[in-house]
Amino acid sequence: MQKKNPVQCQFVVALDSIVGKWKPIILYHLLQGKPLRFNELRRLLPDITQRMLTLHLRELEQEEIVKRVIYPQIPPKVEYSITEYGMSLSPILETLHQWGVAHIERKQLKKTENEQTETD
Amino acid sequence: MQKKNPVQCQFVVALDSIVGKWKPIILYHLLQGKPLRFNELRRLLPDITQRMLTLHLRELEQEEIVKRVIYPQIPPKVEYSITEYGMSLSPILETLHQWGVAHIERKQLKKTENEQTETD
DNA sequence: TGCTATAGTATAAAAAAAGGTACTGTAATG
DNA sequence: CATTACAGTACCTTTTTTTATACTATAGCA
């Protein structure tokens, strides 16, 4: 990653934990509090492939943001949940979400403004 | 992007504005307040290519996070600065930064803990 | 016996992001 | 007269990320 700015610029570190096409929405669902099984998550994210879900969950698990519990049953049962540490991401995601909503609104406002001046 | 969750999960939107290998550090430098010329930024980010710097700045400009001012001189002078709107990202980046720093510390703590138990 | 659900893995291919190098025009500088 | 600084663009290659498809084992059910 970055060589310079050892302590000055560390958002990248946080971003690495959040970024990945599906990570935010995985976290969103897990932050609802209820542990979710692999296939439950799959149903909540209809367009994700099994592979991507596995990969992202593994990464989140490695960072101890997500906990993986295996129930030794057949057919297998594996539950994913947010760790207490992972909960510390909650305010960040909340802030990002709010900014995102405002950003979208702003864009739409600009768009309608432009459309108005065009039709004048 | 995501099809589901029209309003529920909007961090992705914010993330899109921040994400890109160099965007966070570009924003970090511009958030210091002083407008920076293209080559000043290049010197601050020694490993970035001209191409990537241009691309990322263009994206930030399109989202009105960064302002680009051309001074019609020869040799050319172009200054980049954070817009007032872009300033609204400041608290987000600050939070991300703080989480990042804590995350690194935590990782190092875990590492030394492991090394200790190994040598026990 | 064949089908379903479960939680994945393996392999290859496609798409997206990033990088590398060369090139542009003009003024000032040595 | 050659070189440097400036702010890029053009073109191509490499790397990374994501997608697509097929496959695994086992129990329960009809």
Give nucleotides in strand C with any atom < 7 A to a protein C-beta.
Answer: 5-11, 17-22, 25-27
Q: Which among A4, A89, A95 has the least Cβ separation from residue B92?
A: A95
Å separating the CA of residue B18 from the C1' of nucleotide D19: 25
Cβ(A96)–Cβ(B11) below 8 Å: yes
Which helix (H) or strand (E) segment holds residue B49: the answer is none
Does this model's pTM top 0.95?
no
DSSP classification of residue A6 = T
Residue A32 Rama label (left phi>0; alpha psi -120 to 50; beta): alpha
Euclidean distance between CA atoms B83 and B81, whole angstroms: 6
Cβ(A45)–Cβ(A25) below 8 Å: yes
Euclidean distance between CA atoms B57 and B42, whole angstroms: 12
Question: Given CA atoms A21, B88, B36, B77 in this order, what sign does their dihedral have?
Answer: positive
Which residues on chain A are in Cβ contact (under 8 Å) with B6? Answer: none
**Residue B70: which nucleotide is closest by CA–C1'?**
D7
Size of interface A-B (CB pairs under 8 A): 110
Task: Report how far apart, in Å, the C-alpha atoms of A103 and of each of A29, B1, B2, B15, B64 are.
Answer: 22, 16, 16, 11, 10
Digit-by-digit pLDDT tens for chain A (120 residues) are 333 344 567 788 888 888 899 999 999 999 999 999 999 999 999 999 999 999 999 999 999 999 999 999 999 999 999 999 999 999 999 999 999 989 989 988 988 888 887 766
